[in-house]
Amino acid sequence: MPSIIEPKLISGNANLPLATSIARRMSMHRGMNIGLVDARVERFNDQEIFVEVYENVRGEDMFIIQPTSNPANDNLMELLIMSDALRRSSAARITAVIPYFGYARQDRRSKARTPISAKLVANMIVESGIERVLTMDLHAAQIQGFFDIPVDNLYASPIFALDILHQFKDQLGDVMVVSPDVGGVARARELAKRINAPLAIVDKRREKPGEIAEMTVIGDVSGKKCIIVDDICDTAGTLCKAAEVLMEHGATEVHSYITHGVLSGPAVERITNSVMKSLVVTDSIHAPEPVKSAPNIRIVPTAPMFAQAILNIWNGTSVSSLFETETLTPIYEGMYYA
């Protein structure tokens, strides 16, 4: 057991509601109040970021909760500067809790003379003094290897499985999990195994970036309630088109479960007007008002999982135990899926 009395949480501006929810859940687990460390993270007139921590953090086990979502550069700089402030204040250990890891889609050189920005961001995080990263559903698993520090990558599929088993409890025989592309088959297969459902694939071919030339359904989806599963939904063009193609192939309903709802540009309007019956996203990215008020978008919480993962890291116990639905069921019991 560490000599540190309690873990301490600090949050940037990227997703303060999630940070507050995590602190509340940890307080319930510990039986004492665990609040966010009092600090200010603000900008000068020229948009320089300034951080000041008002509490003593010397020798403390610090957890910075900060997804690097839109605006990605501002939120990334907040994370780096908060880490520097804590390191210079003699914090014993600094863990970055990054529910959504921005720049993850730039994980390889897709063509000549392009960067691998995910590796650059990983280098910056390590150099800032962060000693461990806790994240969820990295776009590519190999990004963990970009860091020279431990990286714990949680998965949303156990949360999604609990939600699906609740929402479709009398219709599980009609459910089919669908991967929206060949690259996401492993993720879709994982969820399909958890709910004991068959798997189909939508194969898409692009003429150029941002345009989808052709979509083919691999598998028989006729008469099925299709659940599309993916890690990121940005402009929702591919997702809405995939839903249309599935309905054309005989699906009775199409639902989507997406970990990170980036939902930029026309995404909300597209989803609202699409044939999709529902889109479920996690709160890894703070949802603006248009997303919250969209009639067919629903948000499921990640705070119980992150709270338990932070406590496990602090205690020096297993984080991978949270990969199992059986472990998460009591954590979520009575909250959303009773």
On the 0-12 / 13-18 / 19+ scale of CB atoms within 10 A, 45 is: exposed
User: Residues annotated as binding site for Mg(2+)?
Assistant: 139, 181
Query: Do the domain assignments include residue 3?
Result: no
The per-residue pLDDT for 338 is 38
Q: Which residue range forms the structural domain that includes residue 213?
A: 157-300
Verify that 23 and 121 share a domain, yes or no: yes
Q: How far apart are CA 73 and CA 120, in angstroms?
A: 13
Residue 133 near residue 95 (C-beta atoms within 8 A)? yes
Query: Do the domain assignments include residue 315?
Result: yes
Q: How many domains does the chain have?
A: 2
Residue 229 near residue 177 (C-beta atoms within 8 A)? yes
Query: Do the domain assignments include residue 180?
Result: yes
CATH of the domain at 214: 3.40.50.2020
pLDDT digits (tens, 9 = 90+) for 227-277: 999 999 999 998 999 999 999 999 999 999 999 999 999 999 999 999 999
The per-residue pLDDT for 284 is 98
Catalytic residue among 204, 208, 225, 292: 204
**Which regions of the chain are under pLDDT 70?**
1-5, 206-213, 334-338
Verify that 149 and 171 share a domain, yes or no: no
User: Residues annotated as binding site for D-ribose 5-phosphate?
Assistant: 206, 230, 234-238
- pTM beyond 0.85: yes
The per-residue pLDDT for 206 is 64
Verify that 82 and 184 share a domain, yes or no: no
The per-residue pLDDT for 146 is 97
Query: Do the domain assignments include residue 269?
Result: yes
Verify that 74 and 101 share a domain, yes or no: yes
111 belongs to the catalytic site: no
